[in-house]
Structure formats: structure tokens, C-alpha cells
Amino acid sequence: MENKRDRFVRIVEARTNKILDMLRLLANCANKSNYEYDEEDIKQIFSAIDKEVKATKNAFLGLESKEERFSLKNKD
């Protein structure tokens, strides 16, 4: 029978590794021969990631935060 600590370690390792894998996949989008982006796009992407990292950390600290979906803002 798995105790709470063992379950936490198992789940948190799997989820953290998924996040790290997704960040590595996101890095593939940096290839300018395949994609077009500018400095503002980069700022928006990493601002959203930074906000979510802070919100997740706050959840572990018992603080509330709201969920937001990411979307590049139109430049038109």
C-alpha cells in the first residue's frame, strides 16, 4: 500500500518530467528556419510561463491564484 509521501514523489516526478519535456519541445520552436517570431512573441511566451511557475509555487505555499490560458496577442 502506497503512503502519501510515496504517492507524492511518484506523481510529482512524472509531472515535473512532463513539464521539462514540454519545455524542450517548446525550444524546438526557436528554429528560425522553420518558424517566424519576434522579440514581443518571446516576451509573451516567457511571461506566461513565468506567471504559471509563480502560481504553481504559490499553490504549494497555500496561496490562491487564477488559471489563465495562453494566447499570443494579435499585432494587427
- What is the spatial distance between Cα 10 and Cα 15, in angstroms, rounded to a whole number? 9
Mean pLDDT, to the nearest integer, of 9-23?
98
* CA pair distance 46, 54, nearest whole angstrom: 12
Q: How confident is the model at residue 75 (pLDDT cuts 50, 70, 90)?
A: low
Which pTM does this prediction carry? 0.84
Check residues 27 and 65 and name the one with the higher pLDDT: 27
Confidence of residue 73 (pLDDT cuts 50, 70, 90): confident
> Mean pLDDT across the chain, nearest whole number?
94
Task: Give the tens place of pLDDT for each residue, 33-61.
Answer: 999 999 999 999 999 999 999 999 999 99
Domain coordinates in residue numbering, the chain: 1-36, 38-76
